[in-house]
Amino acid sequence: MKTRAREDQAIIGYLLGTASELEQSQIETRYFREPHFYEEMLALEEEVICDYLNDVLAPAERRQFEHHFLTTPRRRRKYESTRKLLTFIADQGTTQTTTASKPVKPGLLALSARRANDFLLPRLGFLWTLTSLAVLSFGVWMLSNQVSAYRSQVAQEEARQATTQKLPSKLHPKTDKQRPEANKQRNPLAEVADQLQASLDDPPALLSGGTTKAVVSTVVATLRPAHLRAANNAQPVALPAEAATVHLHLQLGDPAPTQFIRFNVVLRTLNGIEILRRQNLTPQVIKSDKSLGVDLPAAKLPVGRYIVIVSGITAKMEIKPVEEYFMSINRE
Amino acid sequence: MGDALRSARPAQKCLGAKQAMRKNQRVSEPSRREKGWALSADSFNRLLEGLHEDRDQAGYEYEHLRRVLVTFFDWRGCAFAEDLADETFNRVARRMEEGEIIRNLPDYCYGVARRLALEILPKQSKQEDDPPEFEQLAAVEEDLDERRSREQLYECFEYCLKQLSPENQELVIQYYQTEKRAKIDNRIALANKLGVSLNVLRVRVYRLRATLEDCINKRLNEKKLQEGKKS
């Protein structure tokens, strides 16, 4: 949530209908007298709309926005035009990032080197192949030598351990003292193994309930599509009190739809109250799994049941329903 | 789209007194509230003289004051803000005709408008039906025509954005970028980067957006005309 200057706060209170009569008349007198202040008010009005669309308004401001601000046609028109502008700007931002990451044109030197390379490579191809083969064979020979050396070391170590186990038990107190000496002679591989074992044996402070407390800021909720609109289809999501963000990981069915280039996501309560709307989302593809990721503040998800509706946009810009997900939020 | 946005542009051409006169004659019929009195050419001239000695400048002032009045009624939550703005002018012109000496016309107009809003609002809230639920407004499904017009709008957005200078294009895009807003206040960072206050930045972007919207509307009208010719 953002913090604002006191004057901005007063103006926003005025725009959202929470200012007192005195505050109202102070602000109104000023904008009737000062054209510049009037322009500032209009700019701030637009910023409030942006803040609402960006989920930056405080819950009380958000309520006022929905129940007071959007009651007049002029402000609804302004809201719609700002929403369209923001969607467009978001697209522009993505396009700019893409163009910025285009490969840089090579300089003259690099270009000459590439041309020389292009010229030489086909003619010296045979020689290159021979050299590569020779280097490869040498590498394989070196590697096999190393492996056999390690193998013999491990075999010696095993033989030594076997003799130690056969010693009588009365010698054991001595072996405790001798252990550091023996450790020095041990194989470095065995030391690494010991360290690994030690790290597995000692539980980390985070899990052992020590003084360091685990801070969960983002909770990832993986949701699978529900094919029936039944209450028992709601997937439970437990939110810890300290969670700040919820990342909804929406799996796009099996088989994943291929005809859509982008997706829209709407999150609603089961009573139909819209919590979130994201448009033009690009799916993540990992191997054959397609999914969508949406972040939202955990504060926007009180305990209850929710439905997530995903629609897809085809290359012909047709919007079609894709999947529905049900989740039930519990607080820990 | 965004009447107030367009109308508030500082570089807007002055409507001129004649045009302003023509515009106000639409409301010269006796109003519901002040029956028996109509705005005549003389009373309107007197109103303009009260705003500025120079007639053209007076026309400009009149237009600005009208925009402020419309916004005032809108911010107060009154329905039919434009009609109420004209009604305010009618009432002020009537007082002037009756011989009342007004030193500061914008202040006086504000006083009249405020009384009018206080008169209107209680009646309005009685008549008002329940406002439509917000989620219903937001979740309207698009039909094919709407989608086409949205695509057209996007094309115009793109075209008009390119008409701005590269610095201004970047400024608009950075100002409205949404990703970082939740964590860092992008706008404060941007204002610091440009070495201006947040207010100055806000107004600068607001003006750019107004220019952008003007361009978009013109472009959309052009496209509609072209489509009309084709069909």
**pLDDT tens for each residue of A311-322:** 888 776 777 788
User: Is the model's pLDDT at A87 over the cut of 80?
Assistant: no
Please state whether B221 falls in left (phi above 0), alpha (psi between -120 and 50) or beta. Answer: alpha
Can you tell me the distance from the alpha carbon of A233 to that of A224, in angstroms, rounded to the nearest whole number? 10
- Chain B residue numbers with beta carbons less than 8 Å from the beta carbon of A24 are 76
Quote helix, strand, coil % in chain A, to nearest 5: 55, 20, 25
- Is the Cβ–Cβ distance between B176 and A50 less than 8 Å? yes
CB A297 to CB B182 under 8 A?
yes
Integer CA distances (angstroms), B215 to A96, B9, B155, B168, B219, in order: 22, 13, 12, 15, 6
The beta-carbon neighbor of B185 closest among A2, A28, A41 is A2
Give the DSSP H or E segment for A240: none
Q: Is B118 on the interface with A (CB under 8 A)?
A: no
User: Is there a contact between B2 and A68 if contact means CB atoms under 8 Å apart?
Assistant: no
In angstroms, the CA B37 to CA B33 distance is 10
**Which band of pLDDT confidence, cut at 50, 70 and 90, is reported for residue A166?**
very low
Task: State residue A132's pLDDT score.
Answer: 67
Q: Tell me what pLDDT residue B126 has.
A: 58
Please count the CA atoms within 13 angstroms of the CA of B205 that sit on its side-chain side: 27
More confident residue, A206 or A117: A117
Let me know: does B191 contact B200? Beta carbons within 8 Å.
Answer: yes
Share of chain A above pLDDT 90, in %: 10
Distance CA B127, CA B118 (A): 15
B142 touches chain A (CB under 8 A): yes
pLDDT category, A233, cuts 50, 70, 90? low
**What percentage of residues in chain B have a pLDDT greater than 70?**
71
pLDDT of residue B73: 93
From the list B211, B212, B167, the residue with the least C-alpha distance to B190 is: B167
Contact A93 B205 (CB under 8 A): no
User: CB contact, 8 Å: B10 with chain A?
Assistant: yes
Encoded tokens for B89: 């002018």
Query: Interior CA angle at B217 toward B214 and B222, to 5°?
Result: 125
Distance CA A197, CA A218 (A): 31
Over residues A263-312, the pLDDT tens digits come to 888 888 877 777 888 877 778 777 667 888 888 888 888 888 888 888 88
Copy the structure tokens of residue B178. 């949404």
Residue A317 has what DSSP assignment? -
How far is B147 from B153, CA to CA, in rounded Å?
10
B220 touches chain A (CB under 8 A): no
B contacts of A56 (beta carbons < 8 Å): 181-182
Candidates A299, A298, A260; CA nearest to A280 is A260
* Angle (CA) A111 A117 A118, round 5°: 90
Residues in B touching A2 (Cβ below 8 Å): 185
Contact A268/B173, CB-based, under 8 Å? no
CB of B202 less than 8 A from some CB of A = yes
Which of the pair, A31 or B155, is modelled with greater confidence? A31
Mean pLDDT of chain A: 71
Evaluate whether ipTM surpasses 0.85. no
Taking residues A145-168, report their average pLDDT.
61
* Main-chain dihedrals φ then ψ at residue B195, nearest 5 degrees: 70, 30
Report which of A302, A321, A202 is spatially closest to residue A260, judged by C-alpha positions: A321
Question: What pLDDT score does A170 carry?
Answer: 43
Nearest to B210 by CA among B218, A33, A96, A90: B218
Please report residues of A whose CB lies closer than 8 A to that of B3.
Answer: 74, 77
Is B185 an 8 Å CB contact of chain A? Answer: yes
Q: Which residue of A has its CA nearest to B186?
A: A2
Nearest CA in chain B to A271: B135
Of A31, A90, A274, the CB nearest to B68: A31
Cβ <8 Å between B5 and A74: no
Find the mean pLDDT for residues B106-118. 93
| Distance in angstroms (rounded) separating the CA atoms of residues A14 and B75 | 8
- A241: distance to nearest CA of chain B, Å? 19
Give phi and psi for A198, each to the nearest 5.
-60, -40
| Span of A118-127, A222-231, B55-64, B166-175 with lowest mean pLDDT | A118-127
Chain A residues with CB under 8 Å of B70 CB are 74
For A5, residues 6+ apart whose C-beta sits below 8 A from its C-beta are: B198
Provide the residue count of chain A: 332
CA nearest to A272 within chain B: B135
Residues 6 or more apart whose Cβ sits within 8 Å of residue A205: A211, A212
For residues B194 and A92, which has the higher predicted lDDT (pLDDT)? B194
- Nearest-5° Cα angle at B73, B67 to B74: 85
Nearest Cα to A268, choosing from B139, B112, B130?
A: B139
Q: Is B200 on the interface with A (CB under 8 A)?
A: no
Does the beta-carbon distance from A89 to B135 stay under 8 Å? no
Please answer whether residues B83 and B90 qualify as being in contact, where contact means their C-beta atoms are separated by less than 8 angstroms.
no
Cα A68 to Cα B130: distance, rounded to the nearest angstrom: 12
Q: In what order do the strands lie in the sheet containing A289-297? A: A218-223, A245-251, A289-297, A284-286
> In this complex, how many residue pairs, one in chain A and one in chain B, have their CB atoms less than 8 Å apart?
136
Nearest to A28 by CA among B199, B116, B72: B72
What number is the average pLDDT over the span B113-133?
73
Whether B2 contacts chain A with CB within 8 A: yes
**Confidence tier at A50 by pLDDT (50, 70, 90):** confident
Q: Residue type for A219, please?
A: V
Q: Does B145 contact A at CB distance below 8 Å?
A: no
Calpha distance B73→A44 (Å, rounded): 17
Dihedral through CA B148, CA B153, CA B159, CA B165, nearest 10?
A: -160
> Which residues of B, range 36-95, sit inside 8 Å of A by Cβ?
64, 68, 70-72, 74-79, 81
